Structure 1
Amino acid sequence: MTADNHHTRVGRRAFLSNGSLVLATAALSAKQVVADEGRSALQIGLVTDLHYADKPAAGSRHYRQTPDKLAEAAEHFGKHDPSFIVELGDLIDAADSVQTELGYLKRINKDFAAIHKHRHYVLGNHCVQTLTKQEFLDGVEQQRSYYSFDSGAFHFVVLDACFRSDGEPYGRNNFQWTDPNLPAAEVEWLESDLKATDKKTVVFAHQRLDVTNQHGVKNSAQVRQVLEASGNVLAVFQGHSHKNDLKDIGGIHYCTLVAMVEGSGADQNGYSLLSLDADGTIEVKGSRKQSDYRWTI
Structure 2
Amino acid sequence: MNRATTTRIGRRAFLANGALVLAAGLDPASCAGRLAAGAPKKGVRVGLVTDLHYADKPAAGTRYYRETLDKLAEAAERFKKDEPAFVVELGDLIDAADAVETELKYLKRVDKEFAALAKDRHYVLGNHCVDTLTKSEFLDAVGQKAAHGSFDRGGVHFVVLDACFRGDGKPYGRKNSKWNDANVPADQLDWLKEDLKGTDKPVVVFAHQRLDVANDYGVKNAADVRKVLEGSKKVRAVFQGHSHKNDYKDIGGVHYCTLVAMIEGSGAENNGYSVLDVGPDGAITVTGFRGQKNYDWKGAH
TM-score, normalised via structure 2 length: 0.86
Counterpart in 1 of 2:186? 184
1:31 alignment counterpart: none
Q: Which ranges in structure 2 are unaligned for 5 or more consecutive residues?
A: 1-36
User: Which residue of 2 is the match for residue 216 of structure 1?
Assistant: 218
Is 2:108 the counterpart of 1:106? yes
* Residues 37/240 of structure 1: CA separation in 2 closer, same or farther (3 Å cut): closer
Q: Deviations over 1:1-49 (max 9, x none)?
A: xxxxxxxxxxxxxxxxxxxxxxxxxxxxxxxxxx898824411000000
Task: Name the residue aligned to 1:138.
Answer: 140
2: CA distance, partners of 1:38 / 1:74: 22
SS of residue matched to 2:225: helix
**In the comparison of the two structures, how many residue pairs are matched?**
263
Structure 1's 107 and 210: CA in aligned 2 closer, same or farther, altered over 3 A? same
Amino acid at match of 1:49: D
Q: Deviations over 1:175-210 (max 9, x none)?
A: 111100000100000011001111100000000000
- Relative to structure 1, the CA distance from residue 36 to residue 161 in structure 2 (aligned partners, 3 Å threshold; closer, same or farther) is closer
1: CA distance, partners of 2:86 / 2:116 = 12
Check the 8 A contact 2:247/2:257 in 1, yes or no. Answer: yes
Mapped contact 2:43–2:155 kept (Cα < 8 A) = no
RMSD: 1.2
Relative to 1, partners in 2 of residues 1:101 and 1:281: Cα closer, same or farther, differing over 3 Å?
same
Q: How far off is 1:295 after superposition? A: 0.6
2:201 aligned to 196, 199, 202, which one? 199
| Percent of matched pairs sharing the same residue | 67
The corresponding residue for 1:237 is 239
Amino acid at match of 1:105: L
2:159 alignment partner, one of 149, 157, 160: 157
Of the three residues 71, 82, 85, the one matched with 1:69 is 71
**1:30 corresponds to which residue?**
none
Q: 2:56 aligns with which of 32, 54, 57?
A: 54
SS at match of 2:152: strand
TM-aligned CA deviation for residue 96 of structure 1: 1.0
Partners of 1:77 and 1:169 in 2: how far apart?
33
In structure 1, what residue type is equivalent to 2:274? S
CA displacement 1:90-111 (0-9 Å, x = unmatched): 0000011000000000000000
Q: Which residue of 1 aligns with 2:294?
A: 292
